[in-house]
Structure 1
Amino acid sequence: MSDWQSLAKISKRQRNLKNAALIVFLSIVSLPVLLPFFWMLVISLSARTGGVESAVLWRACAVLMPATLAYVALHLSLPRHRIWSALACLAAAILGLWVTVGSELHLNNYRFLINPNLIEDIRGSATAGGQFPWVWEAFGNSLLVAASSTALKVSVATLAGYYISRFAFAGRSAFLQGLLLIEVFHPWMLAIPIFLVIFWVGLLNTLTGPILVLTAIQLPFFIFIMKGFFDAVPWDIEMSAMTDGASRRQAFWYVVLPQVRAGLIAISVLGFIQGWEEYVFVTALRTGTSYWVMSTYLYYVAEDVMGVDYGLVAAVSVFYIIPSLALYLFCQRYLTQMTLGGIKG
């Protein structure tokens, strides 16, 4: 018994050392990635007309970085108490910021959320991008583009991936090779042909054009992803359901589709983020200021010949990344569970 206890202690000690080494490694490699985002957040909350003080940035980051690394450590060591760990680290970060740079923090840079004419008041109506809309108009358009293109991509990629995985049809290999060939060419190389096609079909200066273009460009990659997920689901599960009386459609909807839930969530998150951050085609497929999205809104806010208001740019940037960050945080639990298929006896 003593030998087993000593072996258990040695194994536990080795596991703790490995976890500690992993935490240290993740902390080191995450510093260059997290620091610019923390700077952006602090600038949006502290910048004034006179500019930004570097001392405020460093003091704030000296609080935010340890709080974030502490959350990572608690997240790895206490997986059952993730919510309490996040709340504790958030409370510690807020308290630390209040003590160190509390007098420098303000929300004046976020006044564009409640003032429809703020950008015009700051920069005037004669801007490089024309008349600025209210930020919520651009936000709604971006949300429409991202959500609509994601719904189309997920629906088509799921059905196409299932059909390619389950059925042998004439030209199947050529179709797969064609999808790979499409992925070789960068979408930006097709900007001019796409513009001409959108112009000829009458979708120029409409949000329908970017939605369809983003869907068509990203579909080949998503089809390959879903085909791989469906390949991992055994035939036996589907055949058993149909043997018990289910139709092919019922077997697909109630048996096969739940097995590839991780793949559906993965392509949904990826498709939404790609649609949300799109700039090239939403700009190339419009003339003048027929519509605004968040990417073009942020671009023209930052492009000021009279001098950049860094606090305003940082505030718009923080507002811009919130939907993508919230979506990832909500879905990360499902993205890390990539178990596929399985035969249940």
Structure 2
Amino acid sequence: MSVRGVGRTFTSGGGFLKPRRHFRAVSDVSFDVQRGEVLGVVGESGCGKSTLARLIMRLLTPTCGEVLFDGTDIASLTVRALRPLRRHFQMVFQDPYSSIDPRQKVRDTLLEPFQVQGIPLTSAQASAKVDALLTMVALPLHLADSYQHQMSGGQKQRVGIARALALDPSLIVLDESTASLDVSIQAQVIGLLQDLRDRLDLTYVFISHDLALVQYFCDRTLVMYLGRVVEVLPRGATPIHPYTKALMASVLVPDPHQRHEIVRITGEIPSGYDEPLGCAFAGRCPLVQPRCRESLPILRPQTDQHAVACHVHESTILVPEF
């Protein structure tokens, strides 16, 4: 998948003596997802992570930009033209309690993608497919006749993963898919995702607040701030952007000999209704310069896989466009 200049603006208000207001949730985001890669997306709440996920899944229509999946711009397709392509990219939502229909048995939940895509299955084929999907996500076969309220949170999330795998996709977007789970269950789900990636040659876009988990699980990480990507960070690389440094410094290591002082970021996040002229992080950045408030920094490459949008570090960044 290649994302080029994608943005989404929401409009609110409008009426008698009340002007319309425009909120920029995502602005000019560009990146590539290579086959077999795990791409992480991190940032504070409200930075546009979930909106970006819905844009690349075409659950929302971008205001501008392109979303190229295997060379096809899905952002410009009609709903009818898009439907056959949806089987190739699926999504696992954050809350398994609300993403699974409580009135359906697990069996019906797993067979629903085939009905939506118009793929006919005989009774024997349907039963075999349900059994295969449950086995794939390490769930007992008797859960096929269970309802949502009869399962634990970890089991529900596994059902959500199984449903995403039903149509043999090549790309799966995971939006905070481990956020509502206990730590031990998180470890099981991540282990399952790693195993499925290796066996099925899957590609993941992994959105999370858990920075330690992202560092462990993802090959590269997109760091977002107020709807924009401020840094693309490969695994093991040293962060450059002041915001990324502050985020990574907040990750606590479970070792008493590696204690460190967390430097707090002061100031308020700007409003998406009234974006600043220059860098959105300028009001909170300890390295801010006058030009940071006057012009928007461009995401430029530091190495082949590492890019950063920061005026302060432009002298060390290569000139070619990212």
Same-fold call, TM > 0.5? no
Greater strand content: 2
**Which structure: larger Rg?**
1
Interval containing the TM-score (normalised by the shorter chain): under 0.3
Greater helix content: 1
Specify which structure has the bigger relative contact order, considering alpha-carbon pairs within 8 angstroms and separated by 6 or more residues.
1
Q: Normalising by structure 2, what TM-score?
A: 0.22
